[in-house]
Structure 1
Amino acid sequence: MLPKSARFHLVGAIPLRSTPRSRFPAVPGATGAGCRGPARRIPARRDMAHATRTTAKAAKSRNPPGGPFPGIAHASGKGLWLTPRSAPKTVGQELSRHPRSSTRMSVTQQVLAEELAESAEAPSFLRTVDRRDVHRWAVSEVFLTGVARTPEGGYTAFAQLPPVHHYFTDQVLPQDTPDSILIMECCRQAATFIAHRGLSVPRDSAFHVTDWSLELTGRSRPAGTGRPGELTMLVTVVPSQVRGGVVRAARFVLELLVDGRPAGRCDVSARYSPAAEAEIVRRYHRRTAPPWSSALPPAPAGVPVPAGDVGRRDRANVVLADVRRLFRGVAARIAPPLDHGTHFDHPQDHYPAMILLEAARQAAVLARSPGARVTGYRSRFLRFAELDAPVRVAAAPRDDREVAVRFRQGGTLVSEIVVAAEEPAR
């Protein structure tokens, strides 16, 4: 028998604003305060089912589809809630008013009740979000596990860092910080989710990253722990362009914590365009429709860089080819496999920012050494990097800490990224 305070956690696992007692309809045969009908005990299963139906109706009336923050939990001092109203209560708290509404649970039900009660208090790292809201086809490529609206108007986002991944953890040397590209991907997913669910940017909109920076600080966790890391992102959103009541551009500032310890800061700005408008602009600049990655040969042309030279073990994760050593730095060409499970999780009509960031990381490592420790980026994305024309990469050290990387296509500057890459301590 569970204590009274935990008897109804099974139906009260999702915190909701309490429904006034007068709103409960009469239940034939129910007993207890606020219930009408003959004093006859009904089975607990019917009692719990009735409470679930009643609570669902109350939740729908308070947070209807298309509400102010659809699909986003709301945070207060007591946990995460489904509606923005204050002083919410759980269903269990509401039902605890009925002193005679008790039930006997099996061991399995007790375990389930405890898990659901835990999810009500800390739902941050239990399950991933809808993959469509982070622009992924494969659920295995989704790391974002939740987003909560804070009372101050910002957001708290949560992501689980996988201990093993075919790409993000493919590193020659053990790292005492999470992979910088993995952190960038988690920040991208958080900003994309908030754009859709918090700023109401339609899912079929084209996203254009314009500026993106990351700074990782300190040693956030020991290498080789064998367990997932927990990334918490404290997000401040500033809509920088609103047209006709629709957000067309925004900036996201994310303070990062890994396993509860400060880990750095990310700053990303993006523009949002309706799909039809984005297609017109692309055709205007190209004069032709851009090809999709799925329609091109998957194998990259040219001579790929040895995986170990760019700090990778798997050559499938190499995105550079035809490398030339220069007096100061290196020159290469972007050449990722177009069937890569992460880079091209779904068909693309250009090289996305995440590929350019990985190419910059690999070029910086080439300019330094395979053991170089990459801790940050400062990026500007000026034009689309097209799939059907060579994209040239040039990397040169600026000082002992930074490497400047530039991308050109057809002689035009496409992007420039400064990579913080330091030689390993000897």
Structure 2
Amino acid sequence: MLGTDNRPGPVEPTLTTTVAKEYVHRAALAEVFLTGWTRTGANSFLVSAQWPRSHSFYSSEHGVHDPMLLCESLRQCGLLLTHAAFKVPFGYQLSWSSLRYSANPEAMRIGSAPAEIEMHVQCTEIRYRRSLPVAMTMRIEVVLDAALLAVATITFGQHAPSVYRRLRAGRSDAAGLCANAPTPAAPIPAYVAGRTRREDVVLSPTEDQLRWLLRVDTNHPVLFDHPVDHVPGMLLLESVRQAGHAMHPSGGGMMPTLMDVSFNRYVEFDEPCWIEAEAMSSTGCSRRATRVTALQGGKLAFTAVTQMTDITGYPLG
């Protein structure tokens, strides 16, 4: 009689994938950074993400991850949870009211493998209409390797398709508006904007060194991953970062460790948008605060404060 082999079989690996790209409004799978989510309370969630060690646009300079990669992950987190957890249908449009983050440069160092990110999300100030949320605030603690990487707060609204069409008043044809956007003006030098590639610069020069024309290239493969009917929020955040760099172009190791942005109106393609900056406070040479504003048609589009930190002074190893 043959005996039974009770030896354990091979351990199956844990399989990881990204969330559906439709949840985070991305066309390219390579631009999806979120890998999953679970509910941890009535209105609290754990969202996982993976950050690459290198990226064509969210460049990893000086051994640390780009804070704009954090901002894109926050954007995707808001979209994922509104669709997957709160059951907001596709076709609804999310619009930011405000975004604030504060990041720890020491925790943002790049390791020997892609960064496995945890985002602990608490949703508050939720307003419902016909059982669907139309506005909420998300407070997010971002953790990497058990260290607190950043604390962020995003506030946004949701618009049903019919409401959005009325709100945009004839400007909701994303494909047409992108295709007919004006040719972008020449950029400021890449090193002044804190970039390495000319095509990633979103500011164009003016006669005033602290005033720039927002440069909108609708062919950019990351900022315009798909057609949209207005200048996307991530491009506006990039303009804040680049204005902060342009204030101190000699600081090659400067990164935006804090941003506090309030969005007032959509930025359109067919009219110049002016980015203005002024220095605020500084802590020695390592931390410099800058106020950045955007004006279009004589109206305030957004206001922002960013703190640029010299990361070369941190023991990043």
The reply to whether TM is greater than 0.5 is yes
Aligned to 1:227: 113
* Structure 1 residues 237-274: Cα deviation after superposition (integer angstroms, max 9, x where no partner): 12531112221111111001123311110100110011
Match of 2:38 among 148, 154, 157: 148
**1:68-79 map, 5 Å:** none
1:310 is paired with a residue whose SS is coil
Q: CA deviation at 1:324?
A: 4.1
Q: Distance in 2 between matches of 1:293 and 1:258?
A: 39
Structure 1 unaligned segments of length 5 or more: list them.
8-109, 120-125
Q: Given residue 247 of structure 2, which amino acid in structure 1 is its aligned partner? A: A
1:309 is paired with a residue whose SS is coil
**1:17-96 map, 5 Å:** none
Please tell me whether residue 179 in structure 1 is matched to residue 66 in structure 2: yes
Q: CA deviation at 1:332?
A: 0.2
2:173–2:229 Cα contact (<8 Å) kept = no
Aligned to 1:346: 226
Please tell me whether residue 421 in structure 1 is matched to residue 308 in structure 2: yes
Q: CA deviation at 1:303?
A: 2.3
Inter-CA distance 418–303: structure 2 relative to 1 (3 Å threshold): same
Q: CA deviation at 1:325?
A: 4.3
Match of 1:259 among 131, 139, 145: 145
Please tell me whether residue 384 in structure 1 is matched to residue 266 in structure 2: yes
Aligned to 1:307: 190
Q: CA deviation at 1:181?
A: 0.5
1:210–1:270 Cα contact (<8 Å) kept = yes
1:213–1:378 Cα contact (<8 Å) kept = yes
Q: Distance in 2 between matches of 1:155 and 1:291?
A: 34
- TM-score after normalising by structure 1: 0.67
Q: Given residue 201 of structure 2, which amino acid in structure 1 is its aligned partner? A: V
Inter-CA distance 281–260: structure 2 relative to 1 (3 Å threshold): same
Q: Distance in 1 between matches of 2:83 and 2:120?
A: 17
1:292–1:348 Cα contact (<8 Å) kept = no
Q: CA deviation at 1:231?
A: 1.2
2:293–2:302 Cα contact (<8 Å) kept = yes
Please tell me whether residue 114 in structure 1 is matched to residue 12 in structure 2: yes
2:281 is paired with a residue whose SS is coil
**1:229-378 map, 5 Å:** 229-283=115-169, 292-296=176-180, 299-300=183-184, 302-326=185-209, 330-369=210-249, 370-371=251-252, 372-378=254-260
1:308 is paired with a residue whose SS is coil
Q: CA deviation at 1:425?
A: 5.5
- TM-score after normalising by structure 2: 0.88
Q: Distance in 1 between matches of 2:37 and 2:155?
A: 19
Question: Which stretch shifts more, 378-387 or 314-323?
Answer: 314-323
Aligned CA-pair RMSD:
2.3
Q: Given residue 308 of structure 1, which amino acid in structure 2 is its aligned partner? A: Y
Aligned to 2:285: none
Q: Given residue 394 of structure 1, which amino acid in structure 2 is its aligned partner? A: E
**1:92-171 map, 5 Å:** 110=10, 113-115=11-13, 118-119=14-15, 126-151=16-41, 153-169=43-59
Task: Tell which structure's C-alpha radius of gyration is larger.
Answer: 1
2:30 is paired with a residue whose SS is helix
* Structure 1 residues 223-244: Cα deviation after superposition (integer angstroms, max 9, x where no partner): 4x45211111000012531112
Inter-CA distance 259–395: structure 2 relative to 1 (3 Å threshold): same
Q: CA deviation at 1:336?
A: 2.8
